[in-house]
Amino acid sequence: MSRSRFLLCLALVSAVVTVALIAPVSSQTTPAPKSGGVLNMMLREDLSQGFSIHETSTISTVWPAMPCLNNLVLFDPLKKTESVDTVIGELAEKWSWQDNYRNLVFFLRKNVKWHDGQPFTSKDVKFTFDMLREAPDAPAKLRINPRKDWYANIEAVETPDAFTAVFRLKKPQPSLLLMLASGYTPVYAAHVPPANYRTTCVGTGPFKVKEWRKGEFVEYVKNPDYFVKGRPYLDGLKYFVIVERGTRQAALQAGKLDVSFPGETTKTAAEQLKKAVPQLVITPYSQNVSDNIIMNVKKPPFDNLKVRLAVSHAIDRRALIAAVHQGGAVVGAALPPKPWGFWGVAEKDLAGLPGYGAKPADEKALARKLMAEAGFAVEKPLKVEIVTRAIPVYVDMASFVINELKQIGIDTTLKQIETAQWHAMATRGDYQIGANLTGIGPDDPDANYYENYACGSPRNYSQYCNEEIMKMFDAQSQELDPKKRLALNVAIQRKLEADAARPILDWKIDYFTVWPHVKNMIPHQSIYNFGRMQEVWTDK
């Protein structure tokens, strides 16, 4: 073959390859959104508190109730990342920080109507947030108020006119905006008793409740009066309650359902689904849920830092991820690391912290040394009961931990606690050591620290209390420079792990699965914040 002919052939092959590479990309270009169609989705249990998001922390309520409601602000449904830069207005058209982050002013949308036809005003905003922060003159009270601590820094909510609401803060807290952007923070109607949200939903959201057949399904229809013109795209939503996991997977595989449940699909399940239906679109993202060890620092032997550190050193996080999650999790400290989260400690920076040594055998040797210093050895083991919730995801992890602890002279027996008893037992501190899971709403340090590590917080199950750390929590919360805040957070997380306050074992990854005709359904960094469905459309 002559040189020129060879070059010609090469050019032709290159052209063909280039076209082949470009063609799929251009065919994948997102087409213009279409209106119409109904999206079918799954629930693993019925709505636990109806549509009353403010009275619960479970995704089983937040996910199916979000389409009915709106926040003042929300994380942009079309962006994966959740940060100050991706917060968009919902009921608030715009907002402004004033007085060095001590006043947050919201300018509300006009002509917004509740689903019962009543107009939305600043009165509804004041009603909701006075109720949430349990202001002395609040006109209503929630039966259960799990996120009261989120709003502890709000001194007053003022309404100078019908379309302006001012949040006056006790001290600067830029991250308040992130908590307001969470799916956990909808605005309730002032003219509807909060208890009514347990049975029905009067919202301003893109969809109106058509029917909630208990134990069967929740059905929504498009809100024709929605304040965002042209939205939602879908005519309706239907959430089917399917208790059996195998049936849920089969329904998704058969195309009866369009979308998986957030936090539901493990790596193994995703691989099986992909094998059965190759066209399914699977997106790994952070569940914002960690596996962790809770140790009661108020009770022996875990009041001894050496014993707590020994536990932390003993557990090989990477082996746990491989064995229990088949690789479907990542190591990290108190907050999920990049790219799964924003504030976490990167894997390279974890080196030197308990449990993150390069060689697990060295870590175990160190743990045995610490146990020996505390008066225990493999021959003279420490005998304790490890508690966990009687749910497979907890028990699997606890079983792995038991085996690890045995190798350093901690002889543990597993005690499974029924869900009905779990949180009550943990809050009371009626345990010595436990294998626990913790979910966080938005990917923000405040939402995590004040809830799970702050002195006196009911969800601080370890009862760890450190005034020095509390000051660091406040300092990072008030820090306006994101870089400085990130540095402070890395220091806090290293300190929490060094104190074995609540050793984090891993951050779980969900493999969110949708059929290819489902568009604009973009999982975020947290399972709790992307259920509005306003932008979702179907190409079916």
Partner 1 sequence: MKTYVVQRLVIALLTLLGMSVVIFTLLRLAPGDIVDILFSTAGYVSPSEKQAIMKELGIDRPYWVQYLDWLHQIVTGDLGKSYRYDQPAWEIIRPLVPVTLELAALSILFAVVIGVPTGVVSAVRQDTALDYLLRVFSLAGLAMPSFWLGMVIILGLVTWFAWIPPLTYVPVGENFKLHAVQFLLPALAVGYRSSALIMRITRSSLLEVMREDYIRTAWAKGQRGRIVIWRHALKNAMLPVVTVIGIEFAFLIGGLVVTETVFNLPGVARFLVQAILWRDYPVVQNLVMFIAIVVILSNLAVDMLYGVLDPRVRYGR
Which residues contact partner 1 (rule: CB under 8 A)? 45-46, 48-50, 55-58, 60-61, 143-146, 195, 198-199, 213-217, 240, 242-244, 246-247, 250-251, 253-257, 276, 418-424, 427-428, 458-459
Check: CB of residue 525 under 8 Å from CB of residue 286: yes
CA distance 208 to 67: 8
Nearer to partner 1, 126 or 198 (CB): 198
Closest C-alpha among 149, 128, 146, 148 to residue 138 = 128
CA distance 81 to 353: 27
Q: What sign does the CA torsion over 346, 348, 354, 358 have?
A: positive
Check: CB of residue 159 under 8 Å from CB of residue 123: yes
Closest C-alpha among 242, 265, 246, 297 to residue 496 = 297
Nearer to partner 1, 60 or 288 (CB): 60
Instruction: Tell me how far, at minimum, the Cβ of 457 lies from partner 1, in Å.
Output: 8
Closest C-alpha among 59, 21, 15, 11 to residue 437 = 59
Nearer to partner 1, 35 or 247 (CB): 247
Nearer to partner 1, 178 or 426 (CB): 426
CA distance 519 to 538: 6
At CA 180, angle to CA 342 and CA 159, rounded to 5? 150
Instruction: Tell me how far, at minimum, the Cβ of 471 lies from partner 1, in Å.
Output: 24
Which residues sit opposite 289 in a β-bridge?
439
Instruction: Tell me how far, at minimum, the Cβ of 25 lies from partner 1, in Å.
Output: 29
Nearer to partner 1, 77 or 186 (CB): 186
Quick check: helix, strand or coil at residue 229? coil
Nearer to partner 1, 221 or 250 (CB): 250
Q: What is the 3-state secondary structure (H, E, C) of 129-190?
A: HHHHCCCCCCCCCCCCCCCHHHHCCEEEEEEEECCEEEEEECCCCCCHHHHHCCCCCCCCCC
Instruction: Tell me how far, at minimum, the Cβ of 14 lies from partner 1, in Å.
Output: 40
Nearer to partner 1, 31 or 215 (CB): 215
Q: How many CB atoms lie within 10 A of CB 116?
A: 12
CA distance 525 to 19: 35
Quick check: helix, strand or coil at residue 285? strand
Nearer to partner 1, 86 or 249 (CB): 249
Let me know how long the chain is.
540
**φ, ψ of residue 417 in degrees (nearest 5):** -110, 130
Instruction: Tell me how far, at minimum, the Cβ of 58 lies from partner 1, in Å.
Output: 5
Instruction: Tell me how far, at minimum, the Cβ of 441 lies from partner 1, in Å.
Output: 11
Nearer to partner 1, 254 or 487 (CB): 254
Quick check: helix, strand or coil at residue 439? strand
**φ, ψ of residue 208 in degrees (nearest 5):** -110, 140
Tokens of 463: 């009862």
310: enclosing H helix or E strand? helix 305-314
**φ, ψ of residue 103 in degrees (nearest 5):** -125, 130
Instruction: Tell me how far, at minimum, the Cβ of 193 lies from partner 1, in Å.
Output: 12
Instruction: Tell me how far, at minimum, the Cβ of 406 lies from partner 1, in Å.
Output: 28
Instruction: Tell me how far, at minimum, the Cβ of 240 lies from partner 1, in Å.
Output: 5
Nearer to partner 1, 13 or 144 (CB): 144
Nearer to partner 1, 94 or 428 (CB): 428
Instruction: Tell me how far, at minimum, the Cβ of 257 lies from partner 1, in Å.
Output: 8
Nearer to partner 1, 215 or 375 (CB): 215
Instruction: Tell me how far, at minimum, the Cβ of 425 lies from partner 1, in Å.
Output: 9
- Beta strands 433-439 and 382-389 are parallel
DSSP strands (E only) in 173-297 = 207-213, 217-222, 236-241, 281-295
Instruction: Tell me how far, at minimum, the Cβ of 319 lies from partner 1, in Å.
Output: 29
Distances (CA, A) of 435 to 153, 398, 505: 32, 5, 10
Nearer to partner 1, 140 or 498 (CB): 140
**φ, ψ of residue 454 in degrees (nearest 5):** -75, 145
Distances (CA, A) of 384 to 372, 397, 489: 16, 17, 33
